């Protein structure tokens, strides 16, 4: 099996397993790095020892995080188990990357508003949605019209992290801006459809099950890209959702303009959303469901942010003498 054929096979097997496109791309990159590390030898000619050597190299030479090393291991286990049909044994004896204990970066409510006030247009609406709902960046970008119920103030996340669906609320203050935004998007998609475009990518086998759905309003992206692209396979002019980097750059620039000294990214809004809910007295199980965490222990990290520092303990410097 040639190198190109091997990567094609990886993508085919990942599609059968219904892995997200992002996961597939990450796996392919790790497999390519693994092959290059072993001087372009075919993975079929390598084995457990080669995997151990590669993982040790990542920890000792590349100084990668533990999560990155686990990601590489998962990609190689998929390669050998699903593609080459030679499952790896218990991969042991390699240098394990250290797992640092880091607390999430959280902004105050005032700092969040300063960042949002430094933004405008669609990026402002998306950033406000991140903070107001606790969405991940990818979940916000991939939001479809049918999953936004403004009458019930509900937002449904489909196929979130781990393939899990969940429901979160829509902030009351965003209902009117979202309605206005959707009206503008509807006009845009209608104009593209009138010139032969206006198609969107559908998940799974929906292209075959409902061929006309790719132009239906409900399947349109809430935040479409500014330009269309030509899909050579489908032979259609399609609209992709807004790329994540557009919002990432806008948030970074807004934080700089607002004079925020902390490192601020799109995920900072999600961390702030969870912490501020807990500060307001909401139950941690409720916050867990809104965030879509599989285990409440993941949500518990926000209690460390909540109970440490200036909130949980009074500094002796602030205790009056006598």
Q: Which tens digits make up the pLDDT trace of 102-152?
A: 778 889 999 999 999 999 999 999 999 999 999 999 999 999 999 999 999
Percent of the chain with pLDDT over 90: 48
Share of the chain above pLDDT 70, in %: 90
CB atoms inside a 10 Å sphere around CB 232? 7
Domain presence at residue 320: no
Is 209 one of the annotated active-site residues of the chain? Answer: no
Asked if 54 and 121 sit in the same domain, the reply is: no
* 243 in active site: no
Residue 277 lies in a domain: yes
258 confidence band (pLDDT: 50, 70, 90): very high
- Predicted confidence at residue 310, as pLDDT, reads 46
Residue 208 annotated to the active site: no
What phi and psi values does residue 168 have, to the nearest 5 degrees?
A: -130, 170
Residue 136 annotated to the active site: yes
What does R_g of the chain's alpha carbons equal in angstroms?
A: 23
Residue 296 belongs to some domain of the structure: yes
Flag whether 55 is in a domain.
yes
Mean pLDDT calculated for residue range 226-253: 91
pLDDT tens readout for residues 205-215? 777 777 788 88
pLDDT at residue 207 in the model: 72
Q: Examine the pLDDT at 8 and tell me if it is beyond 60.
A: yes
Are 116 and 75 within one domain?
Answer: no
Q: List the CATH number of the domain containing 50.
A: 1.10.150.130
Interval 216-220 mean pLDDT: 93
Q: Are 149 and 155 in contact (CB under 8 A)?
A: yes
Average pLDDT over residues 262-282: 91
DSSP 118: T
| 76 occurs within a structural domain | yes
Q: Are 219 and 146 in contact (CB under 8 A)?
A: yes
181 labelled catalytic = no
Asked if 88 and 80 count as a contact pair (C-beta separation under 8 A), the reply is yes
148 and 15 both lie in a single domain: no
Q: Which of 166, 181, 215, 267 is catalytic?
A: 267
CB of 139 closer than 8 Å to CB of 263 = no
Name residue 156's beta-bridge partners: 167
The tens digit of pLDDT for each residue in 172-204 reads: 999 999 999 999 999 999 999 999 998 998 887
Q: What pTM was computed for the model?
A: 0.77
Starting at the earlier edge strand, list the strands of the sheet with 154-157: 148-149, 154-157, 166-169
Q: How confident is the model at residue 97 (pLDDT cuts 50, 70, 90)?
A: low
For residues 60 and 187, state if they share a domain: no
Residue 144 is predicted with a pLDDT of 95
Query: Are 20 and 153 members of one domain?
Result: no
Residues 6 or more apart in contact with residue 242 via CB below 8 angstroms: 122, 126, 141, 221, 223, 224, 225, 226
Task: Give the CATH number, domain containing residue 139.
Answer: 1.10.443.10
* Cα three-residue angle 248-250-253, rounded to 5 degrees: 110
Q: Which of 124, 136, 241, 276 is catalytic?
A: 136
Instruction: List all residues 6 or more positions away from 233 whose beta carbon is below 8 Å from its beta carbon.
Output: none
DSSP state letters, 13-26: HHHHTT--HHHHHH
* Catalytic residue, candidates 293, 294, 304, 311: 293
The predicted pLDDT at position 164 comes to 82
User: Residues 6 or more apart from 220 whose CB is under 8 A from it?
Assistant: 144, 145, 185, 186, 189, 200, 239
Per the CB < 8 A criterion, the answer to whether 154 and 170 are in contact is yes
CA-CA-CA-CA torsion sign (308, 63, 19, 245)? positive
Average of per-residue pLDDT values in the chain:
86
Whether the pLDDT of residue 311 is over 60: the answer is: no
From 52, 161, 237, 304, the catalytic residue: 161
Do 262 and 203 have their domain in common?
Answer: yes
Phi first, then psi, for residue 261 (nearest 5°) are -80, -20
Confidence class for position 316, pLDDT limits 50, 70, 90? low
Q: Verify whether residue 186 is a known catalytic residue.
A: no
- Is 117 in the same domain as 237? yes
**pLDDT of 265:** 94
Question: Of these residues, 241, 270, 271, 276, which one is catalytic?
Answer: 270
Domain extent at residue 207: 109-303
Number of independent structural domains in the chain:
2
């Amino acid at each position: 099996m040639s190198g190109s054929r091997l990567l094609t096979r990886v993508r085919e097997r990942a599609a059968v397993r219904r892995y997200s496109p992002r996961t597939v791309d990450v796996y392919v990159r790790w497999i390519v790095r693994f092959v290059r590390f072993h001087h372009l030898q075919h993975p079929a000619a390598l084995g457990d020892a080669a995997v151990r050597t590669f993982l040790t190299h990542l920890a000792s030479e590349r100084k990668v995080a533990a999560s990155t090393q686990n990601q590489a291991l998962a990609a190689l286990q998929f390669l050998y188990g699903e593609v080459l049909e030679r499952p790896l044994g218990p991969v042991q004896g390699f240098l394990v990357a250290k797992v640092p204990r880091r607390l999430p970066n959280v902004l105050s409510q005032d700092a969040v508003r300063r960042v949002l006030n430094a933004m405008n247009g669609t990026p402002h609406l998306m950033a406000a949605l991140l903070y107001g709902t606790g969405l991940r960046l990818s979940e916000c970008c991939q939001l479809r019209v049918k999953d936004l119920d403004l009458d019930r103030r509900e937002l449904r996340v489909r196929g979130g992290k781990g393939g899990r669906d969940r429901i979160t609320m829509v902030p009351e203050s965003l209902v009117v801006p979202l309605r206005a935004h959707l009206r503008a998007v509807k006009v845009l998609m209608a104009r593209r459809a009138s010139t032969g475009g206006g198609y969107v990518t559908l998940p799974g086998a929906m292209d075959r099950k409902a061929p006309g759905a790719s132009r239906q309003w409900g399947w349109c992206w809430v935040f479409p890209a500014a330009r269309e692209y030509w899909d050579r396979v489908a032979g259609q002019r399609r609209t992709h959702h807004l790329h994540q980097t557009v919002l990432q750059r806008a948030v970074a620039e807004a934080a700089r303009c607002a004079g925020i000294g902390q490192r601020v990214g799109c995920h900072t809004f999600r961390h702030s959303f969870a912490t501020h809910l807990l500060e307001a007295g909401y139950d941690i199980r409720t916050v867990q469901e809104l965030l879509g965490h599989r285990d409440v222990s993941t949500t518990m990290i926000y209690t460390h942010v909540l109970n440490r520092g200036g909130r949980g303990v009074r500094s002796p410097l602030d205790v009056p003498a006598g």
